Amino acid sequence: MQQAPHILVVDDDREIRTLLSRYLDSQGFRVSVAADKRECEQKMASGHFDLIVLDVMLPDGSGLDICRGLRDQTPHMPVILLTALKEDVDRIVGLELGADDYLGKPFNPRELTARIRAVLRRTASEGATGPRAQGYRFAGYTLEPDTRHITGPEGSPVDLTAAEFDLLQVFLERPGRLLSRDQLLDLTQGRERDPTDRSIDVLMSRLRRKLGEAPERPLFKTVRNGGYQFAVRVEAVDAQP
């Protein structure tokens, strides 16, 4: 029988830790808590977690520093940041560091739970049901959705965060189609876009950089007031196991 997802909640507010621990437990999750950066690092070293809910402001350091460290050590660990409602800079920096989603305080535990489920659905690495799995090729790259693996033109792996991988897969599944920011946010994160939300633009910038996009060989086309469009040929293939 498959174990329930294990969530680590990192927040210095005891009431929030208690509330989330009880609520997430009632929703079928296993929950551990940490009050600061030091305790978070101890918990991470001694246990396995499927997702981290991480407060940006901690008494002994920044949640952004933890997020940066996670991207270096465990790049595929899903992270949802908790930020003060007006801290747009922290949200943008957090996304640049590889966070998968963010939620402003104060928040509704039901909304956080929905975000957690959405991120876990996107980042789950489900085993292939057969000996071969569908994949995509483009501009010398190969992407395998089932293994969540992407290799470059020379065969070396490309290190993408879960959010970056999901965004790229959306484009590969809809080659040549113009996708608005609202559509991309709904397809990748299952939520509507706030007028000030820059998460898709941040992810697009990171994706372009990691895929080595050059001005003379664009992978994506930016359409003013329209969104983004994948600009190269995509080939659906059967990836070898």
pLDDT of residue 102: 83
CA-angle at 56, arms to 180 and 86, nearest 5° = 60
The pTM (predicted TM-score) of the whole model is 0.57
| 6-123 topology per CATH | Rossmann fold (3.40.50)
Q: Which residues contact 5 (CB under 8 A, 6 or more apart)?
A: 29, 30, 50, 51, 116, 120
Q: What is the mean pLDDT of residues 189-205?
A: 73
Please tell me the predicted confidence (pLDDT) of residue 132. 36
Q: What is the pLDDT of residue 148?
A: 87
Q: List Cα–Cα distances, 180 to 24, 67, 158, 161, 162, in angstroms.
A: 33, 28, 26, 21, 20
Are 6-123 and 133-239 in the same CATH fold?
Answer: no
Give dist(CA 166, CA 50) in Å, integer: 17
What is the residue-averaged pLDDT of the chain? 83
pLDDT tens track for 70-83:
877 776 788 998 98
Q: Does domain 133-239 have CATH number 1.10.10.10?
A: yes
Confidence of residue 38 (pLDDT cuts 50, 70, 90): very high
Q: Is the pLDDT of residue 31 over 70?
A: yes
Q: pLDDT tens across 101-132, in order?
A: 888 888 899 989 988 988 887 766 433 333 33
Higher confidence at residue 3 or residue 148?
A: 148
Q: Which two tokens stand for residue 24?
A: 């997430």
Percent of the chain with pLDDT over 70: 85
| pLDDT, tens digit (0-9, with 9 covering 90-100), for 126-178 | 333 333 337 899 999 999 988 889 999 888 999 998 889 989 998 998 878 88
Domain ranges across the chain: 6-123, 133-239
Report the length, in residues, of the chain.
241
